[in-house]
């Protein structure tokens, strides 16, 4: 059975495992107070061109989103996100459980638009009763988006400008950041560090066993962060494990090498699907491929690969998602394409 269900179904890249084995019997302090974590943080800050940044390690995306948003917001504030944003659609009310509301703006191809964001905030302040309403205290975006689409530098600059205008920290969810940066884009890691206040580099979905590296670019936002992280159960006793893994990910360009490979495999799959007459729901430049499938063909698809049903398309078709990763091979892609019918 071919595997295209997600980008976290395999364990870790062999080089990550090798580094874990090399350091396994070396005793160090706990809770991230160790030389491996310190080294990984320095590598990340150097890659981001953000020497003043503070790096914290957490285990997963939803946990990271929850800790960051609850820490940065006052009790009466909410977080602005696109309607399809992960914090709004796939976190089982995690943000709401902290007492904060997700304030949604309609998305455009999966992304938050700067003009729509400004309109939302201006409308809020124009309401004479806005003191009685949930205050837009920060902005959340993800790069890539839930649809695999990526922001341009200009789009990020415009969103960042709106956030600065209204004094709202900009938080970028980077659970799949590697794939966004490895796509055909003009956005660099240094750009993201410059234009956002908080962002994270996802390891869980790109070659680590687990883990997200959170970068807070404004030191004044770090006050009390570790305590909040601890209160929310997000501090690991064996924090050095994440330090070791991110050391490996940020050595010899491994993190970006894996992401580029996954993107290349996804592009090969998209090109092959188009050649066979399949309809793509979104033109994604990253490792997520969305195709429209006739429901009558789904048993045939079920027989050859693992994938994810994304959403209904109409009464007789479904949007399905194929995801590539560091382990996806050209043979996997070609095998899937060979098993699918030509729809011409």
Percent of the chain scored above 90 by pLDDT? 100
Q: Residue 223: which pLDDT band, with cuts at 50, 70 and 90? A: very high
| Residue that is last in its domain, among 214, 249, 284 | 249
Residues 188 and 269 in one domain: no
Domain presence at residue 60:
yes
Domain presence at residue 115:
yes
Residues 121 and 59 in one domain: yes
Measured distance CA(232)–CA(119) in Å, rounded? 34
In tens, the pLDDT along 15-54 reads 999 999 999 999 999 999 999 999 999 999 999 999 999 9
In this model, does residue 218 exceed pLDDT 90? yes
- Check residue 317 and give left, alpha or beta (phi > 0: left; psi -120 to 50: alpha): beta
In this model, does residue 179 exceed pLDDT 90? yes
Residues 216 and 298 in one domain: no
Domain presence at residue 344:
no
In this model, does residue 86 exceed pLDDT 90? yes
* Predicted local confidence at residue 3, as pLDDT: 98
Residues 165 and 221 in one domain: yes
Q: Residue 10: which pLDDT band, with cuts at 50, 70 and 90? A: very high
Residue range 179-194: average pLDDT?
A: 97
Residues 245 and 258 in one domain: no
* Predicted local confidence at residue 62, as pLDDT: 98
Measured distance CA(246)–CA(229) in Å, rounded? 19
Residues 199 and 260 in one domain: no
* Predicted local confidence at residue 250, as pLDDT: 98
Residue range 102-127: average pLDDT?
A: 98
Structural domain boundaries enclosing 79: 14-249
CATH of the domain at 334: 3.90.1150.10
243 CB contacts (<8 Å, ≥6 apart)?
Answer: 32, 34, 36, 37, 38, 39, 40, 41, 57
- pLDDT averaged over every residue in the chain: 97
Residues 98 and 133 in one domain: yes
* Predicted local confidence at residue 249, as pLDDT: 98
Domain presence at residue 186:
yes
Residue range 124-144: average pLDDT?
A: 98
In tens, the pLDDT along 67-76 reads 999 999 999 9
Report the domain count for the chain.
2
* Predicted local confidence at residue 112, as pLDDT: 98
Measured distance CA(50)–CA(54) in Å, rounded? 9
Residues 258 and 236 in one domain: no
Residues 302 and 333 in one domain: yes
Domain presence at residue 93:
yes
Measured at the alpha carbon of residue 194, what is the angle toward residues 192 and 195, in degrees to the nearest 5?
65
Residues 148 and 229 in one domain: yes
In this model, does residue 344 exceed pLDDT 90? no
In tens, the pLDDT along 236-284 reads 999 999 999 999 999 999 999 999 999 999 999 999 999 999 999 999 9
| Residue that is last in its domain, among 249, 272, 305 | 249
In this model, does residue 301 exceed pLDDT 90? yes
Q: Which residue has the tokens 């092959």?
A: 272
Computed on alpha carbons and rounded to an integer, the radius of gyration of the chain in Å comes to 21
| Residue that is last in its domain, among 217, 249, 281 | 249
Residues present in the chain in total: 344
CATH of the domain at 95: 3.40.640.10
In this model, does residue 224 exceed pLDDT 90? yes
pTM of the model: 0.97
In tens, the pLDDT along 145-170 reads 999 999 999 999 999 999 999 999 99
Domain presence at residue 131:
yes
Residues 221 and 85 in one domain: yes
Residues 200 and 272 in one domain: no
Residue range 93-115: average pLDDT?
A: 97
* Predicted local confidence at residue 12, as pLDDT: 98
């Amino acid at each position: 059975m071919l595997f295209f269900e997600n980008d976290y179904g395999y364990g870790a890249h062999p080089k990550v495992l090798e580094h874990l084995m090399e350091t396994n019997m070396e005793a160090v302090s706990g809770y991230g107070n160790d030389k491996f974590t310190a080294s990984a943080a320095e590598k990340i800050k150097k890659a981001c061109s953000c020497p003043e940044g503070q790096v914290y390690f957490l285990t997963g995306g939803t946990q990271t989103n929850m800790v960051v948003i609850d820490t940065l917001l006052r009790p009466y504030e909410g977080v602005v996100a696109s309607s399809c944003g992960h914090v709004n659609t796939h976190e089982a009310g995690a943000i709401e459980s902290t007492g904060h509301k997700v304030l949604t703006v309609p998305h455009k191809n999966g992304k938050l638009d700067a003009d729509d964001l400004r309109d939302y905030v201006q409308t809020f302040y124009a309401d004479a009763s806005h003191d009685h309403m949930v205050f837009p205290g920060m902005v959340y975006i993800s790069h890539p988006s839930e649809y695999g689409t990526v922001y341009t530098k200009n789009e990020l600059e415009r969103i960042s400008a709106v956030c600065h205008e209204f004094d709202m920290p900009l938080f970028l969810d980077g659970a799949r950041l590697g794939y966004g940066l490895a796509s055909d884009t003009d956005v660099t890691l240094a750009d993201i560090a410059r234009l956002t206040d908080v962002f994270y580099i996802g390891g869980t979905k790109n070659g680590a066993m687990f883990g997200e590296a959170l970068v807070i670019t404004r030191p004044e936002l770090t006050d009390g962060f570790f305590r909040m992280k601890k209160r929310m159960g997000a501090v690991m006793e064996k924090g050095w494990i994440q330090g070791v893994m991110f050391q490996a990910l940020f050595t010899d360009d491994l993190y970006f090498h894996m992401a580029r490979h996954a993107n290349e495999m996804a592009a090969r799959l998209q090109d092959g699907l188009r050649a066979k007459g399949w309809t793509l729901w979104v033109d994604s430049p990253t490792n997520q491929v969305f195709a429209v499938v006739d429901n009558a063909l789904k048993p045939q698809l079920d027989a050859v690969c693992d994938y994810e049903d994304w959403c209904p398309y109409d009464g007789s078709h479904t949007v399905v998602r194929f995801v590539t990763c560091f382990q996806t091979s050209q043979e996997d892609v070609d095998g899937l394409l060979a098993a699918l019918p030509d729809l011409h």
